[in-house]
Every structure is written in C-alpha cells, then in structure tokens.
Amino acid sequence: MQYLLMIHAEEGGWNKLAKAEQEQGMAAYNAYTEALKKAGVLKSSNRLQPSSASTTVRVANGKPQVQDGPYVESREQIGGYYLIDVADLDAAISWASRCPGASHGVVEVRPTWSMPA
C-alpha cells in the first residue's frame, strides 16, 4: 500500500536554528531519505517552500478565485512529504517514527486511494 507521510511543523522553526543545527537537520533528512531508497520503499519525496509561497485557487461562478496564502492559516504547516510503498500501516508507522519530522513536528500517515494488493 502507498502512504503519504506529511510532515507538519512550525514554519518559523527552521530559521530559528543555528547554522550548525540546520546542517545537522539537513543531514538527518538526507540520511532518512537514503534509508527509504535503500529499503526500496520510496516513491517520491520533497521539501516544500514556506506556506507564504502558497496560492489557493477555487472556481466560483465559473471564475477562478485566486488568493494569496495557504488554505488553512496556522502556525504549523506541511513542510514536506514522503510517498512510500509498504506492506501495511504498521510498516508505515515504523517509517514515520524514524522521520526527523516526527521529532521536531508531527508526521501524518495517510493511505492513498487503493486497496491492499
């Protein structure tokens, strides 16, 4: 099954870190990504630009309404994601708990729309 691991974290958190801490954080994420690849479970992943770069779009009366900012204004935003393919929820939880994001934020584990094979 495929699961999307969404990293919710405080947006300002990263910039408050000292340079050495940022480097350490990057290294931890790189190592985690490498481990997922090595295990053959990583489908895709990326870090996201801050939510200030977000734009929301909805169509009302046939006209696109475009707005600056994220859908939900909140201190915590999705900062990145991993799409993984594993056997079941326990395996997904096990990977989520290793994600550095689970320590500095919260990792939401969500299955994609498909049945177990």
Partner 1 sequence: MSLPEGDAQPRDDARKTADAVARRSYGKLVAFLAARTRDVAAAEDALSEAFASALADWPLKGCPENPEGWLLTVARRKVIDMYRGRRRHEIAGEQLRVLAEGLDDAATNAKIPDQRLALMFACGHPAIDAGVRAPLILQVVLGLDAKTIASAFLTSPAAMGKRLGRAKDKIRQAGIPFSVPERGELPGRLDTVLDAIYAAFTEGWTDPGGTDVARRDLTEEAMFLARLVTELLPTEPEALGLLALMLHAEARRHARRSRHGDYVPIAEQDPALWDSQMIDEAEALLRHASAVDSIGRYQLEGALQSAHVYRCRTGHANWAEVVQLYDALFALVGSPVVAINRALAIAEVHGASAALDAMQEAAADGRLAEYQPYWAARAELLAKTGAHAEARHAYEIAIGLERDASVRRFLQQRQSALAP
- Write the burial class of residue 25 (CB in 10 Å: 0-12 exposed, 13-18 middle, 19+ buried): middle
Is 1 a binding residue for partner 1 by CB under 8 A? The answer is yes
**Piece of the chain touching partner 1 by CB under 8 A; list 6-14, 15-23, 44-52, 81-89:** 81-89
If residue 21 lies in a helix (H) or strand (E), which one and from where to where?
helix 19-38
**Size of the chain, expressed as the number of residues it contains:** 117
What Cα–Cα distance (Å) separates residue 31 from each residue in 66, 81, 96, 103, 112? 38, 15, 14, 15, 25
Around Cβ 36, how many Cβ atoms within 10 Å? 21
Is 34 a binding residue for partner 1 by CB under 8 A? The answer is no
Name which of residues 2 to 31 contact partner 1 (CB under 8 A).
3
Which position among 54, 93, 102, 108 is part of the footprint of partner 1 (CB under 8 A)? 93
Is 92 a binding residue for partner 1 by CB under 8 A? The answer is yes
Is 88 a binding residue for partner 1 by CB under 8 A? The answer is yes
Beta carbon nearer to partner 1, 1 or 48: 1
Compute the least distance from the CB of residue 81 to partner 1, in Å.
17
Compute the least distance from the CB of residue 57 to partner 1, in Å.
28
| Contacts with 55 (C-beta within 8 Å, 6 or more apart), sequence order | 66, 67, 68, 69
Name which of residues 96 to 115 contact partner 1 (CB under 8 A).
109, 111, 114-115
